[in-house]
Amino acid sequence: MAADTNKGRKVYICATVKPTDLTQEQFEALTWVQVGKVGSVGDFGKQTNIVSYTTLDTEFQQKSKGISNAGDPVIECARSYNDAGQILMRTAGAPTSRYSYALKIEENDKPTADYTNTIHYVRGKVAGPVNLGGGNEDFVREQYTIGLEQVLTVDPEAGSAPTNTVLPSIVGTAVQVGVVLTAIEGEWTGDPSSFAYQWQHDASGNGTFADVASGGTSRTYTPVVGDIADSMRVQVTATNGAGSSSAASSLGTIPIIAA
């Protein structure tokens, strides 16, 4: 159910400068770092000037729309010296930094689990931080002013099940009986919330893999005597609010050897 308040809002920043306007697809392709411990985000959006002109032959002013201001929101956070997002904000806000940066403000308002949240993609100059004062019960806080040059809002959209983009893989200190093998999930679109695993072996030696007899649905698997001379692989299925993916298979290992 969609949230009716700002609770759960998240703020992200991209580390690379963005001097020109971006499309939705370009914003979505950026690498984002979350800014930790954000307490509030100021007002932003299209505020358009109304300009007017009075002529000698009219009773009322003529009016039109002038230039729009995207806003200058203030972002406040409880200071954390080693938070990766706050470190980027300090870098972007330094007086010597004259460039524009991209930020992402994500609401907590998805109508159902299989939808995305509202996303506000913004771009502008970062100034700050201002270190806020206070008494002995006030948190140590920092404020940043964002001089926005672009605002692009993406409303909640129906999500899709995850898609694998980098195959799973297997790691272990050795490929032999009694030595634990661990599945590395690979990379996925769709922000998976969970993964399922199925370990398989090539008992026939012809590349035809079958599920192991037992103990093969965890992230780790310990080969047994029955796996000797078999290649092992793991299949990974990813799940998010929109559903589950097709299984993605790792490459097979070299044949299992005895302990």
One DSSP character per residue, 18-41 reads --S---HHHHHTS--EEPTTEEEE
In percent, the amount of the chain with pLDDT more than 90 equals 90
Q: What is the CATH number of domain 164-249?
A: 2.60.40
Q: By the 8 A CB rule, do 95 and 129 touch?
A: no
Helix, strand, coil fractions of the chain, as percent rounded to 5: 5, 45, 50
Q: Is the pLDDT of residue 202 over 70?
A: yes
Beta bridge partners of 235: 198, 249
Q: By the 8 A CB rule, do 27 and 102 touch?
A: yes
Provide the pLDDT confidence category of residue 1 given band limits of 50, 70 and 90: low
HSE, side-chain direction, 13 A CA sphere, residue 226: 8
Q: Is the pLDDT of residue 150 over 90?
A: yes
pLDDT (0 to 100) of residue 113:
81
Burial class (CB in 10 A: 0-12, 13-18, 19+), 253: buried
For the chain, where do the domains classified as CATH 2.60.40 start and end? 164-249
pLDDT (0 to 100) of residue 114:
83
pLDDT (0 to 100) of residue 2:
60
Q: What is the CATH number of domain 10-154?
A: 4.10.410
Q: Is the pLDDT of residue 207 over 90?
A: no
Q: What is the mean pLDDT of residues 117-140?
A: 97
For the chain, where do the domains classified as CATH 4.10.410 start and end? 10-154
Q: Is the pLDDT of residue 171 over 70?
A: yes
Provide the pLDDT confidence category of residue 206 given band limits of 50, 70 and 90: confident
- Tokens 């129906």, residue located: 158
